[in-house]
Amino acid sequence: MSDILVLYYSRHGSTRRLAELIASGIDRVPGAQARLRTVPPVSTVCEATAPDIPADGPPYAELRDLRECIGLALGSPTRFGNMAAPMKYFLDGTIAEWLSGALSGKPACVFTSTGSLHGGQETTLLSMMLPLLHHGMLVMGLPYSEAGLMTTSGGGTPYGPSHHAMGDNSRAVSDDEAALAIAMGKRLAETALRLANTPGAR
């Protein structure tokens, strides 16, 4: 089995739910399996530290997860139209992987959740693409052959799956949003396996 990393940060659970749906799509592709990982929060208090193991959910990501996987799905909630600081902090620590080209040629996608319908879904997705492009990854989105892109009244963009959670996080992931997240996982896994099994593709 070939692992595909689903790496996310989630504050209230919505981005985590999208990550689980993308992982479900990955696991539906024979030969691929999702490796769910998260990142710890950051603090303005320099002495504050998070426990080595999260209280619940997937373990924290290690840099070797990036090196070992054949593809990456990266997710974060929006913070003023940008990715959240914990995800940016983790990515800022990938200089060695950048220098070695560890991620070059691997496919990747991005996903997000927002508190408001026009709260920066697309700009957050684009902000997460930038470091992936610097790593030489092959960034992919969702094609309009996915019917949910035309019918969703919440999240869902051609740049990647998204979810409109409402300001109080009361809105569950809709059927359209879920279908798009699963489709993204399948598309990523199928692409990653094709590339991994093509000599000289990277």
Least confident piece of the model among 11-15, 130-134, 182-186: 11-15
User: For residues 50 and 142, which has the higher predicted lDDT (pLDDT)?
Assistant: 142
**DSSP-assigned states of every residue in 22-56:** HHHHHHTSTTEEEEEEE-----SSTT----SS-SS
Q: What is the pTM of this model?
A: 0.93
pLDDT tens profile 99-155: 999 999 999 999 999 998 888 999 999 999 999 999 999 999 999 999 999 999 888
Domains along the sequence of the chain with CATH: 2-197 (3.40.50.360)
Q: CA-CA distance, 200 to 197, in Å (whole number)?
A: 9
Q: CA-CA distance, 57 to 45, in Å (whole number)?
A: 25
Q: Which residues pair with 121 in a beta bridge?
A: none
Residue 201 has pLDDT above 70, yes or no: no
Residue 134 CA neighbour count, 13 Å, CB half: 13
Q: What is the pLDDT of residue 39?
A: 96
Residue 14 has pLDDT above 70, yes or no: yes
pLDDT tens profile 78-105: 999 999 999 999 999 999 999 999 999 9
